[in-house]
């Protein structure tokens, strides 16, 4: 009985420690590969006439709100990612694109995306099983 109680307490402590641990920072490159590379290509060169290049793209390297709006609301044939990516994920993927392929623009933070989400009236990310529409 003492062993079972000790094991239970140890497991509860481990779960509490994991819950209190800071979340790992999102991997922008991995998120780009999963969500963006099929259209914009791993090289960032896009597909001429179909999907724009992100490498050297003035919008990608421009003001943070302009490029973030594209992921939050979509643009042209590009879907929005507001329901499938968290604010931190959007910041990570944009930070990656803004610094990859010779691009030189400052990174974004999840707080910036959250503030813009609020300004635009885009619903908050729902981290549920059914939230990933892509």
In a domain, 130, yes or no: no
Q: Name the token pair of 63.
A: 């003001």
Q: Count of domains in the chain?
A: 1
In a domain, 2, yes or no: no
Mean pLDDT of residues grouped by 10 in the chain (134 residues)? 46 43 73 96 96 97 96 93 95 98 97 95 73 45
In a domain, 17, yes or no: no
CATH number at residue 29: 1.10.760.10
Q: Tell me, what's the pLDDT at 131?
A: 44
Contact in structure between 129 and 84 (CB atoms under 8 Å): no
Q: How far apart are CA 89 and CA 93, in angstroms?
A: 6
Q: How far apart are CA 89 and CA 126, in angstroms?
A: 13
In a domain, 8, yes or no: no
pTM: 0.77
Domain of 70? 25-120
Q: How far apart are CA 18 and CA 125, in angstroms?
A: 22
Q: Tell me, what's the pLDDT at 39?
A: 96
Distance of CA 82 to the CA centre of its chain: 9
């Amino acid at each position: 009985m003492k062993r079972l109680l000790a094991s239970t307490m140890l497991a509860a402590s481990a779960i509490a420690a994991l819950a209190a641990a800071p979340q790992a920072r999102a991997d922008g490159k991995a998120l780009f590969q999963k969500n963006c590379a099929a259209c914009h290509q791993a090289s960032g060169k896009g597909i001429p006439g179909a999907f724009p290049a992100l490498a050297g793209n003035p919008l990608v390297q421009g003001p943070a709100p302009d490029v973030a709006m594209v992921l939050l609301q979509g643009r042209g044939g590009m879907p929005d990612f507001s329901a499938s990516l968290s604010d931190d994920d959007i910041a990570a993927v944009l930070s990656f694109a803004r610094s990859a392929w010779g691009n030189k623009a400052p990174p974004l933070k999840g707080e910036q995306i959250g503030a813009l989400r609020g300004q635009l009236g885009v619903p908050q990310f729902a981290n549920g099983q059914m939230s990933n529409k892509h």
